[in-house]
A and B are shown apart, each in its own frame.
Chain A
Amino acid sequence: MTKVALIGAGKMGISHLAILGAHPGVEVVGVSDTSKMVLDVFKKYSSFPGFTDYEEMLASSKPDAVVVAVPTKFHAGMVKKILDQGKHVFAEKPLCMTVEEGKTLVELAKEKKLVNQVGYHNKFLGTFREVKKLIDGGFLGELFHFEGESYGPVVIRSNQGNWRADPREGGGCLMDYASHVIDLINYMFGPVTKVKGSQLKSFYSKSVEDSVFALLEVSPALSGTLSVNWSDETYRKMSTSITIQGSRGKIICDANELKVFFKTAECPAGYEKGWNVKYLTALTEPVDFYLRGEEYSSQLDYFIKAVEGKVPNTINTFQSAWDTDKVISLIRDRAAISN
């Protein structure tokens, strides 16, 4: 059994906790949160030991691995302390507030040879994984353009007052929402190297941006657009998609549906010339416990397996999340120049 502790029982933390609680290879040895009420509920109705102080939890519950699901501004300090104690870390996204903070964590995790993973769950979706396979196999030919998009109803009126509305805590559409799409673009094509233009616009929020529009370059041949808006209530929940144009065809993919167009019959097994449509139902691998999407269970299962040494720690490493942090920083810098 892998002993896991969790810091931050908010929306993501509780979801992670339920998945860990049902995982046959995991013993949840502690939960820490600043809310006494949340801890009280755990005390009354669950078997998880609760702590108000995470350092006390680390000392007394002696976990092998720690899941960190606190606001981003706390990541740098907490994760460093956990790595210093020789424990494996799964942290929520984005990795850190600044590129410098992220660098410290990447180097420390490497030096200590500890498993390190960040919660960019899209990479555990069968649809996006299939896109990655098609691209790596060269089936789309030479790539020249992509569009990464994400829309959803997070901020659909003014007067929101939690940490997501506070830029000093890691709030804002760029860090919270666009980070997912940027990470997916980096994963598909290699890291973005230049940001040729960007706009951070607000519709409702006073202190943070509600949307991100940017022109990104991966290489002189391959560039694309980023269009992200968390104030779009025509979407019931977050919807992320990617469109890719290549010399031999085109891909349009979201979490549930993959559409591929091949110009000729020269295509991989299971595909033919013209349009091909595949659904998540056929591309997803079953999980042992489902909560809100296979990808949430799969990413934690992958982390636990990496801690057990059963899989390499290569998906969503601190390094790849740091690459995403760097693009976030480029987009912010570029927007400041444009304004």
Chain B
Amino acid sequence: MERILFGDNQFFAVNHISDEKSRAQSIQFKDDSAIINTLNIARSTGINTFMCTTHDRIANICDIIRADPGKYSDFNIFPCMPYAHKYANAVTELGITGTLKQYVPGNFFGSLFKGGVAYLSKDYISIMELLIDAEMKMFKGLNTPVIFLQNVITDLLLGLGMIDILKGFHAYVEKKYNAEAGFITMNMPLLLQKLEVAGIENPIICSSINLAGFRMSGGKELYESVLKTKKVRAIAMQVLGGGAIHPKDAIEYVCSLPNIESILFGASSKGNIAQTTAYIREFDGKYAIQHQTAG
């Protein structure tokens, strides 16, 4: 994975601190061309990986990228699935069974519901695999070397103790897409512990890591200790703590930590993209020797 990954929250009005900013972003990125322009700005600063949700509009972005192989041949996309609001709204509207009927492709599920008891013996992992395929359709032909499970699903399964389903995701993504599985979570230490027990070694885990300790469940100290002592390919997200920390201090903190392979951030303006990227390169330089000595 590259050191800097470009995120997509700003494109879809996901703002963790302000509804007003959300609306402004929603207006700014109304057209797909605005998204592509911002991606191109990020690429011009040397960022070559776009980590994005499987939002309907990403399908349009994928079409644009596919149509210009000369320009985007080495461009990487890290899909994050599912776009949870799609399913959450569907569950509200259709119930759990209705949602599965709507989204599991083909007539697989139709046959599942015939004959009442028959489905009880079915394997739910294979339903999940069909859902993964449905979400992956829009990325056909593009480079997707890492495929992520969104935090709301990872953490739901973690809380329910359904680690076998996380394992199933990990295995299927590798088998079918020749990709590595990544897990987004708000509970990194707990997830890592459970994945280790399940036999998944050195997993890719993307979690909130920031100076403010925001959304670092179990506490900042625990996260720092896990990074120092455990085997994990960590991606730091929400490094700016939702905008509550000064960018310079925020980036210095993350760069000073050991064992963080990549930093994920999103921004709407050329100035903010350039500034954050510059801070990461500056502090990486400052802490490089320290990490080498420690490593």
| Interface positions of A (Cβ within 8 A of B) | 10-11, 14-15, 17-22, 35-38, 40-42, 44-48, 153-155, 160, 162, 164, 234, 236-237, 239, 241, 254, 256-257, 279-282, 284, 286-292
Contact = CB atoms under 8 A, between A and B. Distances in A.
Interface string B169-193: 0000000000000000011001000
Contact of A14 (B18, B160, B218): B160
6 contacts: A11-B92, A45-B160, A160-B93, A279-B243, A288-B218, A292-B152
Interface stretch (B32-40, B71-79, B94-102): B94-102
Contacts of A46: 160-162
Contacts of A41: 124
Given A11-B88, A257-B19, A291-B155, 13 more contacts: A35-B96, A35-B97, A37-B120, A42-B160, A46-B162, A153-B89, A160-B93, A162-B95, A162-B98, A236-B22, A257-B18, A286-B216, A292-B152
Interface of B: 12-14, 16-20, 22-23, 26, 85, 88-89, 91-98, 119-120, 124, 152, 155-162, 164-165, 186-187, 190, 212-219, 241-244
Given A22-B187, A236-B22, A279-B244, A15 B156 contact: yes
Contacts of A14: 156, 160
A250 B241 CA distance: 27
Contact of B19 (A47, A241, A286): A241
B212 A234 contact: no
A45 B157 CA distance: 9
**Chief secondary structure at chain B's binding surface:** helix
A37 B17 CA distance: 38
B19 to A, nearest CB: 6
Contact of B159 (A18, A36, A164, A254): A18
A134 to B, nearest CB: 19
A281 B17 contact: yes
Contacts of B85: 236-237
Nearest to A256: B17
A22 B124 contact: no
Contact of A11 (B91, B158, B164): B91
A281 B156 contact: no
A24 to B, nearest CB: 10
Contact of A281 (B95, B165, B241): B241
A290 B164 contact: no
Contacts of B155: 18, 289-291
Nearest to B218: A288
Contact of A257 (B17, B23, B124, B216): B17
Contacts of B243: 279, 281
Nearest to A162: B95
A324 to B, nearest CB: 21
Contact of A290 (B13, B94, B160, B186): B186
A236 B23 CA distance: 10
Contacts of B23: 234
Contacts of B120: 36-37, 40
B96 A10 contact: yes
Contact of A256 (B16, B215, B216, B219): B16
A189 B214 CA distance: 30
CB-based closest 4 A-B pairs: A18-B159, A290-B186, A281-B244, A45-B162
A18 B160 contact: yes
Given A11-B92, A237-B85, A286 B217 contact: yes
A256 B119 contact: no
Nearest to A151: B19
B7 to A, nearest CB: 16
Given A37-B119, A236-B14, A289 B159 contact: yes
